[in-house]
């Protein structure tokens, strides 16, 4: 799974991310993207989404940063933050420190430990990004299904009522999820 996921992320980054955002040497880029793939596989192995197959967890854990940051190094490192101060590959918003359920809440210290491209910072980013993902799965009682547009609506713009609004962006992310799921090897 790891090498297949790395190949998918590498192809995505090569084809979809404009060269304007690719300033790192090729060997550094490949190492960084491999660390991302490794962190995703490890996170889904150690902390699966309850009721979701491993493959679906890996797909979700890959699709979120694909859309949130494009695996761009400046976002990954923390050199570039989102318009509301979102950080790391998963573009974690500062409001994650206010998640009402302490199981899923992220501290300011944990959030600060995501800024960097080495293994430790990347692993922290993936761990916390998936904690937020599991929060939305728990909060909205999402069950595994191939059509994930509802999940992406909640990840990007959480609402008081789950599934309140699915935008074109959420549908696009759901399609990306489905395409990636089809590319990953069956368990």
Query: Could you report the per-residue pLDDT of 64-97, keeping only the tens digit for each?
Result: 999 999 999 999 999 999 988 899 999 999 889 9
* Res 177 pLDDT > 70: yes
Q: Does residue 167 form part of some domain?
A: no
Within a domain: 164: no
pLDDT digit string (tens) for 119-168? Answer: 999 999 999 999 999 998 998 888 887 557 777 877 767 776 776 667 78
Does some domain include residue 59? Answer: yes
Dist. CA 125–CA 32, nearest whole Å: 13
Within-domain flag for 163: no
Q: How far apart are the C-alpha atoms of 173 and 15, rounded to whole Å?
A: 17
In a domain, 61, yes or no: yes
Q: What is the pLDDT of residue 45?
A: 98
* pLDDT number for residue 166: 73
The domain total for the chain is: 1
For the whole prediction, is pTM greater than 0.85?
yes
User: Residue 187: which pLDDT band, with cuts at 50, 70 and 90?
Assistant: low
Q: How far apart are CA 156 and CA 92, in angstroms?
A: 10
Mean pLDDT across the chain? 90
Segments forming the whole domain that contains residue 76: 2-138+179-183
The predicted structure's pLDDT at residue 118: 97
Res. 18: pLDDT tops 90: no
| 165 inside domain | no
Residue 147: per-residue pLDDT: 55
The answer as to whether 57 is a domain residue is yes
3-state SS assignment for residue 113: coil
Q: Residue 41 pLDDT more than 70?
A: yes
Residue 41 burial (C-beta neighbours within 10 Å; 0-12, 13-18, 19+): buried
Residue 87 β-bridge partners: 92
Residue 7 has pLDDT above 80, yes or no: yes
Asked whether residue 47 is domain-assigned, the answer is yes
């Amino acid at each position: 799974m790891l090498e297949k996921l790395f190949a998918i992320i590498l192809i995505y980054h090569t084809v979809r991310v404009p060269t304007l955002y690719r300033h790192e040497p090729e060997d550094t880029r490949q190492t960084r993207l491999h660390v991302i793939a490794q962190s995703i596989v490890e996170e889904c192995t150690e902390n699966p989404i309850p009721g979701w197959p491993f493959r679906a967890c890996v797909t979700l854990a890959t699709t979120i940063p694909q859309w949130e940051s494009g695996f761009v190094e400046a976002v990954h490192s923390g050199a570039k933050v989102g318009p509301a101060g979102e950080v790391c590959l998963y573009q974690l918003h500062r409001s994650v420190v206010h998640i009402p359920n302490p199981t899923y809440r992220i501290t300011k210290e944990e959030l600060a430990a995501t800024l960097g491209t080495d293994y430790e910072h990347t692993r922290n980013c993936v761990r916390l990004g998936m904690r937020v993902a599991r929060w939305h799965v728990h909060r909205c009682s999402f069950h595994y299904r191939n059509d994930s547009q509802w999940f992406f609506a909640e990840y990007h713009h959480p609402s008081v009522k789950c599934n309140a609004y699915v935008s074109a962006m959420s549908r696009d992310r759901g399609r990306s999820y489905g395409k990636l799921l089809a590319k990953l090897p069956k368990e």
